[in-house]
Every structure is written in structure tokens, then in C-alpha cells.
Structure 1
Amino acid sequence: MNCPFNPSEVALLKTVIGCCELSPELLNLPELAFLKSFVEKLGGKVPAGQPDLSGFMGGKKENNSSSATTTEPEKEEPTEVESDPESELELDNEGCVEPDLEPNQPMGDASREPTEEEFDQANDLRSQAAVAYSEQKYDEAVKLFTDAIQLNPKSALYYAKRGQAYMKLQKPNACIRDCNRALEINPDSATAYKFRGRANRLLGHWEEAVKDLRQACKLDFDEEADEWLKEVTPNAKKIELHKQKQARRREEREFRERQERARKAQEANRKAAEEARTASASPGAGGVPFAREIPEEMLKWFDDPEVRDALMDMFSNPANISKYVNNPKIMSVLGKVLKNDPRGGAFPGFGAGGGFPGFGAGDTGSAGGGFPGFGAGDTAGSAGGGFPGFGAGGFPNFGGSDGGAGAGAGSGAGAGTGGGAGAGAGAGSGGARMDDLD
């Protein structure tokens, strides 16, 4: 039973399987999900994790028994060592405090609607808290604001002011929680933005501090808020520039990685193509019989499926040349193949002097060097070497290969270079050379 895949496809499959043997984690790539599923259906187990593609295909030496050469180990490109990003960023953290980790403060019942009496009581408590704050009794101020919030949880100002007292107690996280609730109630509370910005500054959250203080000044300009904004702007600017620099580095690194992946893919494709050509040239491979010996530039002709299939058809059965006589492209390529052969019309790799397998040589004094059993080869004294059913040494309707008489149709007689005679009775037509096929 013949293999349903051509040698190039088999070679590519060998390359993929070989890579997966070296790094089974490759099967976890989305592109190879189908292969992973196949392995698992057969009872195999694929290791978890993603493959390290940074050194993929690098430094490995392939040992292919079907190849006559071994691939030189690839040289690993030096990896660029980047310095620690944080070490490049020098900030002035003077005035920052340790974050407070106390439980959340009472926030009141947000769904509760206060009565008129509760409004008045809460307002009195707020006044008392303001007095305590002015006397720097910040703990007492927090307690009084908390009582006011319990009576009227709908006031954004109460939360913002309690947050201010928490800030004085070096509790920036508690301050931020109060300011967040205040902004939920009133998104345009400049006071809440101001104190949340200051609390972020105490925690060293420079970008958040700049954003909040800018918004506070935008909603209701305040000299103290503006002074705080000027204080945090230098550090925030450094962070912004640092992030831009890191983004550029990341883009450049990703670009280099894409280039490296493309290079390795091209190299893998090149190796696979070389293996496919080598496999095709091996006996019994079913490919081009003389692929090892024809010039490299001629191999590209076999990339054209029409040309490849036609040539293989003629190589397997010389009589099939008649099917392509009227196809200029096929005849032109075949003519170039014959002309590029150093023995003048014989196919290399078979017999002593060229020709098809099982048919003699094509040199002086030897048996025919063309197609089996037909007209002259290329040298005087040789037996027939033309195409089946035609004259010596030439294509139907064309002359001798290097200046001999024309090869006629039917069983015509003709001469190649040197004068060997063919069998038959017809006379050739003209003197076209093989060069005319170009």
C-alpha cells in the first residue's frame, strides 16, 4: 500500500514530531491543539505548561539518517540583559507613611432616609467635630463625625471631613475609604478629591494623587490643593516617562522576538524543504529521480505542480511524451532539463552514460543514451536514443539535439550529434535545436 502523503509532507511531519519530542510542551500551543487531542485520544499525556520559545531550534544538531549531511549547530544569539526597571526609577518618597491596616470604619446605612430631627442632630454633631478638629483632637473629631454619619448617611461632606481627620491621624487608607463613599454620593465633591489625593500622596501613590488633586482644583480651585499638586507632580512625571520608556522597550523586545520567530520559522521551512528534496532524490522515494544531481536553480521548476506531474508522468513512461507535445511550457522545461545535463540529453543518475533506468549508456560506442529502443544518442556509433515513435535524439517535430538532421513523426530516421542512425522510414522536418525551446 502506497503512502498517501508525498515526501515533502512526510518530511515536514518529521520536523514537527521531532520538535515536539524535544519540547512536548509545544503541543499546548493553540495551533497544535489538534495534534494534542490526537495524542491524548491514543492514551498519551502532554506535560502542562507553555514551551520556552526563546531558544527554540537553537543550538540543536539534527541527525537524520536519510540525509547525507548533518546540520551545524546554530549559534545562540546573545540575550540582551535588561536592568531592573524599578532600579532606574528614583523617586522622592519623603513624607510617605506606612499603610494603615485597621478594620473598616462604620459607614452607616446608605439606604436609610433620615428624619428632620436626625438632620438637625447630625448637623450639631458635625459642628462639634469641626471644633474638635480645630483643636487637633482628631480622634474625638472622628468619633463625632461617625455619630453624624449614623444619623445622616446621605451627606457626602460628613464622609469627606471624617476622611480629613483620618488623614491627620496618619490613616490614609481609612481616609480613602471615606472619600470614595463621598464621591459615590456626590461625584463632584472637590473636598473628597482633595483629601483622597493627599492620602494617596502619603501612601506614595503619585499618579493617583496627581489625578485626584488636579480634579479637585478643576472643580473648585483651592490654594492648599494646588500646593499639594505641585508637590506630587515631579514624582508623577518621572513615573509617566518611565512607563513610556518601558512601553518602548517592550515594543522593541516584542518586535525582536517576532523577527526571531520568523527567522527560525524560515530556517525550519528551509531545512524541511532540503529534507524533502533529499527524500525525493533517494531511491524508491517517488520523487524526482535525479534531484540530487541537477543544478540547484532547476529545482524550482518542480515547485509547479503541473510541471512536476508532467515530468514524473514522462519519467515513469516515456511513451507519455505524446500527451505533452502541444504544451509549450512542459516541453520547454523538459528541453532545459535535457540541455542542462552534461551528457547532452541523458538523465543523470541512471546507467553508465545516462538515460533511463535499465537502458544503456549514452557515450561513444555504447548503447543508447536517450529513451529506450529509439534513435541515436549524442555521439557517433551509439544506438538509438530518441523519444518513442520519433527520430533519433530529438523531440517530435523538432531537429537533432545539437545540429543533426530533424526527427520525423512516426518511425522516422534522424541523427544526433555525430551521426548515429535510427530505425524506420520517415524523413525528418527542419533543424530546430533544443535551444529553440527556451
Structure 2
Amino acid sequence: MAMAGESSFEDEIMESDIELDGEVVEADNDPPQKMGDPSVEISDEKRDEAQLCKKKGIDALSEGKLDEAIEHLTEAVILNPSSAIVYATRAGVFVKAKKPNAAVRDADAALKINPDSAKGYKSRGMAKAMLGKWEDAAHDLHMAAQLDYDEEIGTELKKVEPNVHKIEEHRKKYERLRKERDMKKADMEKQRKHAEEISAASAALKDGNVIAIHSSSELETKLKAASSLSRLVVLYFTAGWCGPCRFIGPVYQSLAEKHRNVVFLKVDIDELNSVAHLWNVSSVPSFFFLRNGKEIDKVVGADKNGLERKLAQHGSS
């Protein structure tokens, strides 16, 4: 069962929106572009032809003819699928065409062929930025800068890094709030368990009555319940054949009715000889005053005044 206020606290730490800068484009969902077959044997003739197609693609790009550039570079990819630079170049064209998913596919292919492809990292970083994947974008752009820095990479990083910083700060804030929530939930659970223990302890102790103990486990349960409630306990050892016990018995009951915040227990030494032996009972009636299960005082004999005095002394402490 949820504690009061828990759901509202959950609402408070829900991850909020972050105001990020930079243009994010709608992801392109076109069918994947044609890719080269890496198992194809590449002749020198095909390699030269691919180089020519690549040049045509770059020329078309310089004229702003993006579709034409992609066509030429696609021919180059098919002719020479082992060229990382061709894939990376086409990835760059896809970035300019605002087709980031296609750019990522080409950049992945380039980096698979050449893990040190600066152009592959650059194109993928710019594509990731277009998709709003700022942290991935920053990683790739930093890799590109380490391999072959240029001004375009620096400009892109200036756009990307502020968003990465905002995300990191937001994550730290969210993590702090999450920890605070968990601590509060743990504290609430602790309070709930404590309340259950108090309730169970109160139910186990009969205020205003003398509780007869019939087993060592029952005595342990009552002492534990009294400790959880920080109550004083009077443990009375008696016997059916004891004349003074018959005299003090009604007095003990009246004291229980008067001191309702004190736990009054009674053990018959003939019924529980082992318990009497454990408490070193040498004569009856004997009264042990306990707090937290430990003896703090004792009265031996049918001493009504002594019992009242000890109760006055320890009952309020």
C-alpha cells in the first residue's frame, strides 16, 4: 500500500523537458540506399572507374546537385565497396540532403572498413546531431577532431556541446532527485514497518492486565514487544503453594490496572522451572524490573510498598 504523499513525490521527480538548441530534422525513413558487396573482387579497372564516379559526385556536390552527387557516389560504392572514403563522402552528401539515417548507414560502413576514418566520424556526428542524439554526436565529432580537425567540425561542436552539457546537468539533477526519492521511500517503508511493529506489540500486550506466561518463547515475545514500545516490564515469579503469593497476587493485579503503561508478567515456577532457573529465582514471590530485556531492579517477598516505590521510581523514566 502506498504511503500518503508518495505518488505526488513521484510526480515531482519525473524527468522534465530540457530546452536544447540546434536544428533537429525529421528522421528519413526511405528504403536503405544501395550498398556495395564486400565479397566482390575489385579489379584495377573497377577501382579507376569508381574513382572517376567519385570525382563526378564531388563535382556535382560543389554545384549543389545533391541527388546527382548521390547517384555518382552510389556507382562508386558499387564499383569499389572496399573504399571507406567513398562511403564517408556519400555520408556527407546525405547530411547536406538532410537524410541523417542514410548518412549514419554510410558512416557506419566507412568506419567498419577504416576505424580511423575522420570523415566517417564527422559525417556520423553531424547526422546524429540532426537526429538530436547530442551525446553520440559529440563523441563522433571529438573522434573526428582528433583524427583530422577542420573548422566545420569545430563549428558543429560549438552547437552540440552546450546541449550535451545541459543533458549531463539534467541527468545529475535527476539522479539526485531519484536518490532523494529512494531515500524518502526507504524512510517511509521504515516508518511503515515500525508502525506495524508498534501495532503488533500493542496487540501482544494487554494494558491494565497481568499476562500469564506459559512458555519461554512467549516470555521472549512479550519482552520484545515491551522493548519496541520502550515500556517498563515487571516479571513476577509465583507458585500455587506460596501463601505470600496469594496475598500479593491481587495487589499485583491492582497495580497493573493503575500503571497501564507498564507491562505486568507472571510466571509460575512449577510450570516454567527452566525460566525460573534462568532468572536465578531462589524464592517466591520475586519481582524483576526490566527495561529492554535487562534487569534494572528487583523486589523479593510480598512487599507491597516496595513494589509501589519501585514502580514510582522506574515507571516514569
TM-score, normalised by the number of residues in structure 1 = 0.51
Instruction: Letter of the 1:337 partner, please give it.
Output: F
Q: Quote the Cα distance in structure 2 between the aligned partners of 1:96 and 1:333.
A: 90
Q: Quote the Cα distance in structure 2 between the aligned partners of 1:267 and 1:207.
A: 47
Q: Quote the Cα distance in structure 2 between the aligned partners of 1:333 and 1:185.
A: 95
- Aligned equivalent of 1:194: 122
Name the SS for the 1:86 alignment partner.
coil
Gaps of 5+ in 2: 237-264, 291-298, 304-317
Indicate whether 1:270 and 2:218 are aligned: no
Query: What displacement does 1:177 show?
Result: 1.0
The answer to which structure has the higher helix fraction is: 2
Indicate whether 1:298 and 2:228 are aligned: no
Indicate whether 1:231 and 2:184 are aligned: no
Question: Of residues 31, 38, 41 in structure 2, which corresponds to 1:113?
Answer: 41
- Aligned equivalent of 1:315: 268
CA contact (8 A) 2:26 2:131 kept: yes
- Aligned equivalent of 1:259: 187
Q: Quote the Cα distance in structure 2 between the aligned partners of 1:137 and 1:144.
A: 11
CA contact (8 A) 2:232 2:289 kept: no
Indicate whether 1:90 and 2:40 are aligned: no
Indicate whether 1:248 and 2:171 are aligned: no
- Aligned equivalent of 1:140: 68
Name the SS for the 1:337 alignment partner.
strand
Cα distance change, pair 254–83 in 1 and its aligned pair in 2 (3 A):
closer
Cα distance change, pair 207–335 in 1 and its aligned pair in 2 (3 A):
farther
Q: Quote the Cα distance in structure 1 between the aligned partners of 2:45 and 2:284.
A: 107
Number of residue pairs aligned between Structure 1 and Structure 2: 255
Q: Quote the Cα distance in structure 2 between the aligned partners of 1:106 and 1:130.
A: 18
Q: Quote the Cα distance in structure 2 between the aligned partners of 1:324 and 1:199.
A: 80
Cα distance change, pair 105–328 in 1 and its aligned pair in 2 (3 A):
closer
Query: What displacement does 1:296 show?
Result: 3.5
Query: What displacement does 1:332 show?
Result: 8.2
Question: Of residues 102, 106, 109 in structure 2, which corresponds to 1:178?
Answer: 106
Cα distance change, pair 96–316 in 1 and its aligned pair in 2 (3 A):
same
Query: What displacement does 1:134 show?
Result: 1.2
- Aligned equivalent of 1:384: none
Query: What displacement does 1:145 show?
Result: 1.0
Instruction: Letter of the 1:214 partner, please give it.
Output: H
Percent pairwise identity:
35
Query: What displacement does 1:217 show?
Result: 0.4
Query: What displacement does 1:127 show?
Result: 1.4
Query: What displacement does 1:277 show?
Result: 3.5
Query: What displacement does 1:114 show?
Result: 1.3
Instruction: Letter of the 1:315 partner, please give it.
Output: D
Task: Show the 5 A alignment for 1:9-48.
Answer: none
Query: What displacement does 1:104 show?
Result: 0.6
Q: Quote the Cα distance in structure 2 between the aligned partners of 1:219 and 1:261.
A: 54
Q: Quote the Cα distance in structure 1 between the aligned partners of 2:50 and 2:235.
A: 90
Instruction: Letter of the 1:115 partner, please give it.
Output: S
The CA RMSD over aligned residues, in Å, is: 3.7
Query: What displacement does 1:276 show?
Result: 3.2
CA contact (8 A) 2:235 2:288 kept: no
Bigger-Rg structure (1/2): 1
Q: Quote the Cα distance in structure 2 between the aligned partners of 1:339 and 1:137.
A: 98
Task: Show the 5 A alignment for 1:318-329.
Answer: 327=277, 329=279
Cα distance change, pair 339–206 in 1 and its aligned pair in 2 (3 A):
closer
Name the SS for the 2:12 alignment partner.
coil
Encode CA deviations 1:332-376: one digit per residue, 9 max, x unaligned: 898652789xxxxxxxxxxxxxxxxxxxxxxxxxxxxxxxxxxxx
- Aligned equivalent of 2:27: 99
- Aligned equivalent of 1:218: 146
Name the SS for the 2:233 alignment partner.
helix
Structure of higher RCO (CA pairs closer than 8 Å, 6+ residues apart): 2
Q: Quote the Cα distance in structure 1 between the aligned partners of 2:104 and 2:42.
A: 25
Instruction: Letter of the 1:86 partner, please give it.
Output: S
- Aligned equivalent of 2:2: 54
Q: Quote the Cα distance in structure 2 between the aligned partners of 1:229 and 1:202.
A: 13
Instruction: Letter of the 1:330 partner, please give it.
Output: N
Cα distance change, pair 257–231 in 1 and its aligned pair in 2 (3 A):
same
Q: Quote the Cα distance in structure 2 between the aligned partners of 1:138 and 1:173.
A: 16
- Aligned equivalent of 1:307: none
Encode CA deviations 1:112-163: one digit per residue, 9 max, x unaligned: 2312222121112111111111111111111111111111111111111011
